[in-house]
Amino acid sequence: MPSADEQAGRSAGSRIAVIEKAVKTLDALLHVADGLTPTQVAEVIGTNRSTAFRLLTSLEQGGLLDRDRSTGRYHLGMKLLQYGSAVRSGMPIIRVAESTLANLRDETRQSVLLAIREGWGARCLSRLPGPEVDVVSWTTGEWLPMHLGAAPQALMSAMSDAEIDQYLAENTDWHTLQGDRTADDIRKGIALIRQRGWALNQEGITRGVASLGAVVYNRSGVPVCAISVAGLEHHYAEPGLEHTAAAVLAAAKEIRDKLD
């Protein structure tokens, strides 16, 4: 007969397995606008349909999922919006940068974004649409690889040379709307960003849209995040380009000066 400690260990392991399945379910639903059926969820988490259905029911009761009664498909629940809002409000960098980003938006009349590095890419934490038509496809919470977008490229330029070597060794897919980039292209781009202090993305993600970004460092010189402005490409040509770059760099410095 198993000891009490063995039974407790198995029980804890079972609970952890359930949590892992729940996380896999939520992750899968992030990428499907039409939702998933219990059968599809069972395939994703590697279990039978009845177990998947019980898990889905529990997540629905907790407000994490919604079920479409007409199709039986499950979607992410509205409660997750509350979680997302709480996560954002709990991030000091967003609170520190908020007024600066708003002023940058008003000055440039472009959409403004703030992103942090996450692995070999960047995740958008804050996005303020510009007063003109909002054409920016990068949304709050979305992750982009390092080679796409001005903010990710700016963050990439702040990596050490050893990290850049590792990044180039581990990644080979550098596709953009303007075509595929090579390792040599990446290195030349990094050198240019370091030289002028800002990154320029021209139609790399969305046709007709450009962005310009810079890294925000803390007082110790450690990269904290990147900010960028984005809008229709004609705004990112001379003579306005230099003014936009100066505004972004000034905003990055202002945020740095606010950091403890």
pLDDT digits (tens, 9 = 90+) for 171-200: 888 888 777 888 999 999 999 999 999 999
- Is the pLDDT reported for residue 116 higher than 70? yes
Q: Average pLDDT over the chain, rounded to whole?
A: 87
Domains assigned to the chain: 4-81 (1.10.10.10), 91-258 (3.30.450.40)
Structure tokens belonging to residue 216: 């925000």
For the chain, give the longest Cα–Cα distance: 80
Of all residues in the chain, the percent with pLDDT exceeding 70 is 91
Instruction: Note whether 71 and 38 are within 8 A (CB).
Output: no
Note the helical H segments in the chain.
Answer: 4-29, 38-45, 49-61, 79-89, 92-108, 150-157, 161-170, 183-196, 240-258
Is the link from the previous residue into 92 a cis peptide, with omega within 30 of 0?
A: no
Q: What is the mean pLDDT of residues 126-133?
A: 85
Averaged pLDDT, 39-54: 90
Distance CA 118, CA 160 (A): 15
Q: pLDDT tens digits, residue range 59-105?
A: 999 998 999 999 999 998 888 877 776 666 556 788 899 999 999 99
pLDDT digits (tens, 9 = 90+) for 209-246: 899 999 999 988 999 999 999 988 888 888 889 999 99
